[in-house]
């Protein structure tokens, strides 16, 4: 029976075990196959009881984090807290989310239910149409980015803002402990040193002021970032009287009919952030242009009456396919499932843009003996290999791949062609990736 969280917010003056249990169930969603989750669940009743006792007795201490570097879509440092710490993060989020979500303006997205990237793009399209009168008159947009946002958050300013809405003593102490926690303490470094050396210093937590910065990767960091910038959203909407804007974490886009007003708004926003939030805009990422020429926001390029995916995402999709095809273990069960999961995640994004031909091209390139797409090229599936014919096809396919430098005439027998599922892709695939000018398939029956 699927567990349902019946407590949407914590109303109790004191911490309850039920609230901690709900946080545990929220934390383990989509994480039950991870090593830390399995270790915790092996004796989860005792582990939860110990964690609850630590929280009640105020002996809880934030544990060590795992630090690693990702390179796509751009190089950045990511921190992953221990599983028991992530339970505490969900406990804090469950206790605070309803208190702040009603205070967030409608133009704010990220870490808010039903207000993610797709909703953010939808609202940006809406504002572009409103300002340009459905693209019938000239309108402009300005894009701005906060410089080193997460590493520049002032912990004192953040805690003072959060504590205004917290009345429970236990929650105040817990939030303070999480906000001022030092992730560098006993941190486990997972990535190679070369990746950390390639990371700019202003993007690394190792070079951040002790009283500044939130680790990227924690749920509380995402939620607290919205709390931290809520005063900025209120300033833009109510003081500057600007209603046609969108903010997703540190990315802001504003639409207006007058480009001079956009420059004025940019200057006022930067001044406000310096004086009130100890932040500043990245002037190198300032972009101002007409709406009709299109704007890049949250991975999509929006143009009049059509939307495309960002070029870097398209290139990464084909890079994933090429790397998988070069892997000698691509037909293993784990590799094949991992590849299908990745491709389907990209196809899920492409479904929301004008990209039928692009999806078709991706699916055709990703189709092999054991991967197949549906009719509208929106999902890849694995062709089952539980029969003798499929195993014969796999063996034969690997034999052909080993002959990449040979010019051999393979004769095709039509009566055995049907034995190979999606066999027509073999010829094209070998020609594309192994440089053979003429490859034919031979299926012989002994």
β-pair partners for 379: none
Backbone angles phi, psi at 183, to 5 degrees: -70, -15
pLDDT at site 423: 45
Residues 6+ positions from 168 with CB-CB distance below 8 Å: 10, 13, 14, 95
Is 117 exposed, middle or buried, given 0-12, 13-18 or 19+ CB atoms closer than 10 A? middle
> Confidence band (pLDDT; 50, 70, 90) for 238?
very high
d(CA 388, CA 262): 67
pTM, entire model: 0.80
If one compares 127 and 432, the residue with the highest pLDDT of the two is: 127
**Average model confidence (pLDDT) across the chain:** 83
pLDDT at site 374: 85
Q: Is the pLDDT of residue 252 over 60?
A: yes
d(CA 135, CA 295): 13
* Cα torsion through 315, 317, 321, 327, rounded to 10: 90
- pLDDT tens string 37-77: 888 888 889 999 999 999 999 899 998 889 989 887 788 89
Q: Is the pLDDT of residue 373 over 90?
A: no
Mean pLDDT of 428-438: 40
């Amino acid at each position: 029976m699927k567990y349902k969280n019946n407590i949407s917010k914590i109303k109790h003056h004191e911490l309850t075990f039920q609230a901690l249990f709900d946080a545990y169930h929220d934390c383990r969603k989509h994480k039950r196959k991870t090593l830390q989750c399995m270790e915790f669940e092996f004796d989860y009743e005792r582990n939860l009881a110990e964690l609850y006792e630590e929280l009640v007795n105020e002996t809880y201490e934030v544990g060590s984090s795992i630090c690693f570097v990702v390179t796509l879509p751009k190089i950045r440092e990511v921190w992953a807290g221990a599983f028991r710490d992530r339970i505490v993060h969900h406990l804090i989020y469950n206790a605070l989310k309803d208190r702040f979500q009603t205070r967030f303006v409608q133009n704010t997205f990220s870490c808010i239910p039903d207000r993610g990237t797709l909703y953010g793009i939808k609202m940006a399209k809406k504002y572009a149409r409103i300002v340009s009168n459905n693209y019938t008159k000239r309108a402009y947009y300005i894009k701005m980015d906060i410089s080193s946002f997460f590493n520049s958050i002032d912990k004192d300013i953040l805690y003072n803002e959060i504590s205004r809405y917290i009345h429970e003593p236990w929650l105040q102490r817990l939030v303070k402990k999480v906000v001022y926690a030092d992730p560098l303490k006993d941190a486990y470094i997972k990535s190679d040193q070369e990746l950390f050396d390639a990371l700019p210093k202003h993007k690394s937590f190792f070079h951040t002021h002790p009283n500044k910065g939130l680790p990227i990767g924690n749920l509380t960091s995402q939620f607290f970032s919205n709390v931290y910038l809520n005063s900025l959203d209120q300033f833009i909407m109510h003081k500057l009287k600007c209603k046609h804007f969108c903010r997703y974490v540190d990315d802001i886009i504003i639409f207006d009919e007058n480009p001079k007003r956009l420059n004025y708004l940019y200057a006022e926003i930067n001044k406000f952030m310096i004086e009130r939030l100890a932040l500043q805009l990245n002037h190198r990422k300032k972009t101002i242009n007409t709406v009709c020429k299109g704007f890049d926001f949250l991975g999509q390029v929006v143009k009049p009456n059509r939307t495309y995916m960002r070029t870097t995402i398209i290139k990464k999709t084909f890079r994933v396919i090429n790397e998988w095809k070069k892997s000698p273990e691509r037909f293993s069960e784990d590799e094949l499932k991992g590849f299908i999961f990745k491709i389907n995640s990209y196809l899920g994004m492409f479904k929301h843009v004008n990209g039928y031909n692009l999806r078709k091209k991706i699916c055709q390139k990703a189709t092999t003996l054991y991967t197949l797409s549906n009719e509208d090229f929106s999902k890849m599936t694995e062709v089952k290999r539980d029969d003798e014919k499929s195993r014969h096809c796999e063996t034969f396919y690997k034999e052909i791949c080993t002959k990449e430098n040979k010019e051999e005439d393979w004769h095709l027998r039509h009566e055995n062609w049907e034995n190979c599922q999606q066999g027509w892709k073999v010829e094209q695939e070998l020609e594309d990736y192994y440089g053979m000018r003429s490859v034919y398939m031979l299926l012989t029956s002994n």
